Amino acid sequence: MTAIQVRGLRKSYGNFLAVDGVDMDIPPGQVFALLGPNGAGKTTTVEILEGHRSRTAGEVSVLGTDPATAGRAWRARIGIVLQTANDAAELTVAESVRHYAGYYPDPAEPEAVIEQVGLTEKAGSRVKALSGGQRRRLDVALGIIGRPELVFLDEPTTGFDPEARR
C-alpha cells in the first residue's frame, strides 16, 4: 500500500496550466519533499492532496481515499502544518492545543504534545506573544495533536531556529 499515489495530476486555471502530469508513489513512513522554484505548482499539488483544492484531471489517493470526496473520518487521519497561521492570537498555547484537540476523535494529550514541541514553558503565554520560532512549534503541535497517520508540512523550516529545524 502507498500513503500517497498520484497519476497524471493536472490543474489548470483557465489557460494557465499550474500542474501538468504529476505522478508519484509515497510509501507509509517515508519523508518526502516536493521541491521546485516559486510558481512550479508545489502548493497547488499539496492542496489537492490535502483535499482543499480540486484537480482538473488525474487520479489521487491519500491513505487509500480520494481527497476530493473524502469525509470527516479521512480528515481526522491527516495533519496539516501551514506555513503561516494568524488565528487565535488571544488564546494561550495550552488553550489553542486543547481547542484543536477537540476536533479529533482520539487526540493526543495536549500537555504531552506541548512538551514534545518544546513549549512547556510557554503553555500559559498568549499566541500573539510568541516569537516566530515558538509560533512554528505551536503550528507543529496543532498539526500533530490528532495523532495523524500522515502530516503535510508547508515550508516546514520557515521561522525555525537551527535547533528546531533538526
Residue spans of the domains in the chain: they are: 4-70, 78-165
- Angle ∠(44,99,95) on CA atoms, nearest 5: 120
Cα–Cα distance measured from residue 121 to residue 77, given in angstroms and rounded to the nearest whole number: 29
Cα–Cα distance measured from residue 66 to residue 143, given in angstroms and rounded to the nearest whole number: 21
Cα–Cα distance measured from residue 142 to residue 80, given in angstroms and rounded to the nearest whole number: 8
Judge whether 4-70 and 78-165 match in fold.
yes
Q: Which residue has the cell 480528515?
A: 75
Higher pLDDT, 163 or 87: 87
Convert the pLDDT of each residue in 40-79 to its tens digit.
899 999 999 999 999 999 999 999 999 999 999 999 999 9
CATH number for the domain whose boundaries are 4-70: 3.40.50.300
- 78-165 falls under which CATH superfamily? P-loop containing nucleotide triphosphate hydrolases (3.40.50.300)
